[in-house]
Amino acid sequence: MRPTRNTLPEDIRLQAIELLNRHLAAAIDLHAQVKQAHWNVRGPGFIAVHELFDRVSVEVENFSDRLAERAAGLGGTALGTVQIAAAQSFLVPYSPGIADESEHIFAIAGALAAFGQSAREAIDLAAAAGDAVTADLFTQIASGVDQQLWFVESHAVPVR
């Protein structure tokens, strides 16, 4: 831990940093998954889905930045290398063989949903640990993920 004048007790900061880094790893993985889809999508709706994935990737990258900065601000180290993300992400690995836009939409929607669910669980964990600010950050991230999920799912072909 780095010295800080943050008034949260060290044990609470340590719990928050661990929770933040767990989600940082997944956010880095999620960003890479969305970029994988962005680069490789094919289909009649290519340009719309390609541009959608690019916008989603920017939002997810912002989540990563906010998670990392909160961990560092609490006196911790943001663990944001690709190697750490690959080893610690809780997301299902992305299939590199996907090309069809509907398959990418399905896969990205699943990854966003899993990340959003974990962010919602992190709200309660951070609050129970006594860190309302980290809980609020996870609330903001969960809201942002839900919005991105809505955008992605809106491109899915309706099932009749």
Interior angle at CA 138, CA 72 and CA 136, nearest 5: 90
Mean pLDDT rounded to a whole number for the chain: 96
Which pLDDT value is given to residue 160? Answer: 64
Which pLDDT value is given to residue 159? Answer: 66
Dihedral (C-alpha) 154, 156, 157, 160: value to the nearest 10 degrees?
-80
> 132 or 7: whose pLDDT is higher?
132
Which pLDDT value is given to residue 79? Answer: 98
Residue whose tokens read 């999620």? 30
Burial 99-119 (b: 16+ CB within 10 A, else e): eebebbbebbbbbbebbbebb
Q: Would you give the DSSP letter of residue 39?
A: H
Which pLDDT value is given to residue 99? Answer: 86
Taking residues 19-24, what's their average pLDDT?
98
Kindly list the structural domains of the chain, giving each domain's residue range(s) and its CATH number in brackets, ordered by start: 26-153 (1.20.1260.10)
pLDDT in tens, 69-94: 999 999 999 999 999 999 999 999 99
Checking if the pLDDT of 98 tops 70, the result is yes
Taking residues 91-113, what's their average pLDDT?
95
Q: Would you give the DSSP letter of residue 92?
A: P
Taking residues 59-66, what's their average pLDDT?
98
